[in-house]
A and B are shown apart, each in its own frame.
Chain A
Amino acid sequence: QQQVKQSPQSLIVQKGGISIINCAYENTAFDYFPWYQQFPGKGPALLIAIRPDVSEKKEGRFTISFNKSAKQFSLHIMDSQPGDSATYFCAASMVYSVGNQFYFGTGTSLTVIP
C-alpha cells in the first residue's frame, strides 16, 4: 500500500500566491521527511527536508510544516513564481535504515501562472 499519501495531484497558482502541498504517512518509524522538486526531463532534486523534532523549517520561500501527532507534513511555497512550476514529491525514510530506502508520494504537478 502507499506508505506516503500526497495531495493534490495538480495545482495551479497565480504568480505571487501561496502553493500548499500536503502529505500523510502511517509508519511512525519514519524520521526524515524530504521534499523533492523535479523539472521535466530531469531527475528529482532535494528541495528541503525536516526531522520530526521540529514543527517547521524554512528555507527562503519554501517552508515545511510538520505535525507529528497527525502524521502529516506539508510544503508551503510563498510568493510562487513561474520558475517554481515543476512536479513536487514528498518522501519519508528512516535515517538509520539499511539501504537508505525512501517512500515517495505520488507527486504534485504545480503550475504557476504569470
Chain B
Amino acid sequence: NAGVTQTPKFQVLKTGQSMTLQCAQDMNHEYMSWYRQDPGMGLRLIHYSVGAGITDQGEVPNGYNVSRSTTEDFPLRLLSAAPSQTSVYFCASSRQGAIYGYTFGSGTRLTVV
C-alpha cells in the first residue's frame, strides 16, 4: 500500500517552461488536493477535487491547472512557470466525509529560474 505518491521529487524549470506534477493514490480516496508550502506562509490550497471529473479552485489557483480523469490520479499543470511558483508542492487525499484520514504525499520541490 503506497499511499500518496508524488513525482518528481525535485525539478528545476526555466521561466516560461511548462510541466506536470504527478500525484497518485491507491487508497480509493474520493478527495484529492494540491497545496504549496512556502516559508512563513504555511500550506495553501491550490486546487482540489471531490471525485473523478470534478475539480475546483482553492486559495491560490492562478497559474495552475488540474484535471481528474480517474479516482487515482490528480496531476497539477504549470502552463508557463514563473519564479513566484518556486515552492514545495504537496498532494493530499482523503475519503469523502472523512477528513480524519487526510494523507499527504512526500512533496515535490520545484525551483523556477
Contact = CB atoms under 8 A, between A and B. Distances in A.
Contacts of A98: 50, 56
Contacts of A45: 104
A99 B99 CA distance: 9
A9 interface: yes
A4 to B, nearest CB: 8
Contacts of A93: 99
For the complex of A and B, list the 5 residue pairs with the smallest distance between their C-beta atoms, beginning with the closest: A43-B104, A104-B42, A106-B42, A104-B43, A99-B48
Contacts of B90: 43-44
Given A34-B102, A100-B99, 7 more contacts: A6-B42, A41-B107, A44-B104, A99-B31, A101-B58, A104-B43, A106-B41
Interface of A: 4, 6, 9, 32, 34, 36, 41-46, 49, 89, 93, 95-102, 104-107
A101 B90 CA distance: 14
A60 B17 CA distance: 48
Contacts of A41: 106-107
Contacts of B41: 106
Interface size class of B (residues with CB under 8 A): 20 to 34
B77 interface: no
A41 B92 CA distance: 16
30 contacts: A4-B42, A6-B42, A9-B40, A32-B99, A41-B106, A43-B90, A43-B104, A43-B105, A44-B90, A44-B104, A45-B104, A46-B102, A89-B43, A95-B97, A98-B50, A99-B33, A99-B50, A100-B33, A100-B48, A100-B94, A100-B99, A100-B102, A101-B33, A101-B45, A101-B58, A104-B35, A104-B42, A104-B43, A106-B40, A107-B42
A92 to B, nearest CB: 11
A44 B42 contact: no
